[in-house]
Structure 1
Amino acid sequence: MSAIDTLPPLREVIASHGLSARKSLGQNFLLDLNLTAKIARSAGDLGECDVLEIGPGPGGLTRGLLAEGARHVLAIEKDARCLPALNEIAAAYPGRLTVIEGDALRIDPLEHLTPPIRVAANLPYNVGTELLVRWLTPDKWPPFWTSLTLMFQREVAERIVAQPGSKAYGRLAILAQWRSNARIVMNLPPQAFTPPPKVSSAVVHLTALPEPRYPANPKLLEKVVAMAFNQRRKMLRAALKGLAPDIEDRLIAAGIAPTDRAETVSLEKFCALARSLEG
């Protein structure tokens, strides 16, 4: 018996269903149910929320979310081999777990969820960043989610919370911190997973702000930031020269020295530059 419910330990589940992790799917299974319950708790109060989970695998985090009181969990899983194990969890928590087989990049989860909605996932490494960027850049804000509690490679997690002046600071930090509060809530060593990845992992919790931290046109801000960091070693007057013929004047108007490099410029000043370019 596991510590959080009446279902078998995950090692038994994996053995009985023949679920070896597949590198091609970015799979690394977290088998310690005490850890998965801790991750679920870091997502906040789940009792009045639906939860979207991407890549549940054999269901370790799924069980943690349900045991911690999630109103309803929608689990999207690409690997058909995992479905029997997930269906066993659904039977143990009647009416509270819906499992959909498919690619999370192609499925609209909102057809199956009722607000308020939290997202909690041990994201497959090969799609994690793309999903995060999608959730941070919807056409309308506030987004469908109130919070994201996501596991990444530690290097990616550090990029999300990075501050100006650090090597990790870049486009991901700008996108995350413009519209949310982001913090690392847990670190996990490779040994916590089966098979152990070559890198450490970390869980990031992002809470959606009611409106962006500073005013800016989203598409223009994304364009400015992408251009700035694509050539991060260049001075901004060179990296951004294609945006406007008077880019040096625009930079100065935003409080940025034309000789600055992208990694030294704050979120607030990037937003000021986007406003200056729009004006």
Structure 2
Amino acid sequence: MATVDGLPPLRDVIATHELVAKKSLGQNFLLDLNLTSKIARQAGDLTQCDVLEVGPGPGGLTRGLLAEGARKVLAVEKDSRAMAPLAEISAAYPGRLEVINADALEIDPLERLTAPVRIVANLPYNVGTELLVRWLTPPSWPPYWASLTLMFQREVAERIVAEPGSKKYGRLAILSQWRTTPRIVMELPPEAFSPPPKIHSAVVHLDALPAPRFEADPKVLERIVAAGFNQRRKMLRASLKGLTPDIEDRLTAAGIKPTDRAEQVPIEGWCALAREMVKG
């Protein structure tokens, strides 16, 4: 069976290199190269961009990114078994694929990338949310990346784009929507993967904003949002009382009812409260 890039079909690659997906690494491989190319296209024009990919596995999405014209792909893969198939892809695209056998949580890829940078990944389920939070909370803003195009469990994707008042609205929605414009661009059924997970998946595309939507100190915002949603069933005057004795006054000054619950407060309100919290 012929493929666009002349490389073997992914099922053959996995069989040849005995790349059985490991649950301990959160692996679920996408086998349809049409789908991986479609995901790559959701990231926009890649021809003038370096792309950071985390968890490439046998390289289905990697091949999609390169076929769609990515200037360079830096693929970070923890599983040493994937090095051989990724080397075959590198040989087919000379000078355009660099592979690092490492844990993405433990390396700084910046020195290997040239702006503009886009991050595109079918993230391992066990580290996806942690990586997203790291990318959304760098020491300074704007970040080194222009956009994120990431596969998550559909439930996580829905939390990223959730609106105030919904049960899925929480810390992840606020972190994402404060500094980016996120949207769900694709949904994938379990049978698209090998092995099929028990849940549906979705691809979220997040464009970095040049500046946050509303002024706030990131660390203060993170602290009050975490406190509010850790006890989301309580009124804010109760869930936030440990932060400062005069929390009701500060809530009122920020335009928030002390009797509101965390999920009722829009991002603008949380940012207003963050600004009130740093006042003397």
Report TM bin, short chain.
over 0.9
In structure 2, the residue matched to 1:20 is 20
Q: Which residue of 2 aligns with 1:108?
A: 108
Counterpart of 1:193 in structure 2 is: 193
Q: Matches of 1:111 and 1:127 in 2, distance apart?
A: 22
Q: 1:255 to 1:59 in 2, by over 3 A?
A: same
Equivalence map 1:75-94=2 (5 Å): 75-94=75-94
The 5-angstrom pairing of residues 216-231 of structure 1 reads 216-231=216-231
What is the correspondence of 1:1-279 to structure 2 with a 5 Å cutoff? 1-279=1-279
- SS of equivalent to 2:12: helix
Q: Assess if the C-alpha contact under 8 Å between 1:77 and 1:102 holds in 2.
A: yes
CA contact (8 A) 1:4 1:64 kept: no
Q: Please tell me the residue identity of whatever aligns with 1:154.
A: R
Amino acid at match of 1:40: A
Q: Following superposition, which runs of at least 4 residues in structure 1 exceed 2 angstroms of deviation?
A: 1-4
Q: Which amino acid aligns with 1:89?
A: I
Task: Kindly state the Cα deviation for residue 243 of structure 1 after the two structures are TM-superposed.
Answer: 1.4
Three-state SS of the structure 2 residue aligned to 1:263 is helix
Take 2:75 and 2:22, find their aligned partners in 1: how far apart are those partners? Answer: 18
Q: Which runs of 5+ in 2 are unaligned?
A: none
How much has 1:111 moved relative to structure 2?
Answer: 1.4
CA contact (8 A) 1:4 1:34 kept: no
Residue type of the partner of 1:77?
A: E
Q: CA deviation at 1:2?
A: 4.4
Distance across 2 between alignment mates of 1:114 and 1:235: 47
1:67-98, Cα deviation, whole Å (9 max, x unpaired): 00000000000000010000000000000000
CA contact (8 A) 1:50 1:113 kept: yes
Q: Distance in 1 between matches of 2:12 and 2:56?
A: 16
Contact persistence 1:3–1:34 (CA under 8 A): no
The alignment's C-alpha RMSD in Å is 0.6
**CA deviation map 1:138-193 (0-9, x unaligned):** 01100010000000000000000000011110000000000000000000000000
Cα separation, 2, equivalents of 1:178 and 1:46: 25
Query: So what's the TM-score if we normalise by structure 1?
Result: 0.99
Amino acid at match of 1:248: E
What secondary structure does 2:159 align onto?
Answer: helix
Distance 1:161 1:268 in 2: 16
Distance, in Å, in 2 between the alignment partners of 1:187 and 1:4 is 24
> How many aligned positions are there?
279
Query: How far apart in 2 are the matches of 1:46 and 1:201?
Result: 23
- Alpha-carbon separation, structure 1, partners of 2:277 and 2:130: 27
Amino acid at match of 2:9: P
How far apart, CA to CA, are the structure 1 residues paired with 2:135 and 2:23?
25
SS in 2 for 1:82: helix
- Offset of residue 5 of structure 1: 1.2
Identity %: 75
Compute the displacement of 1:3 (Å): 3.9
| CA shift digits 1:178-210 (9 cap, x unpaired) | 000000000000000000000000000000000
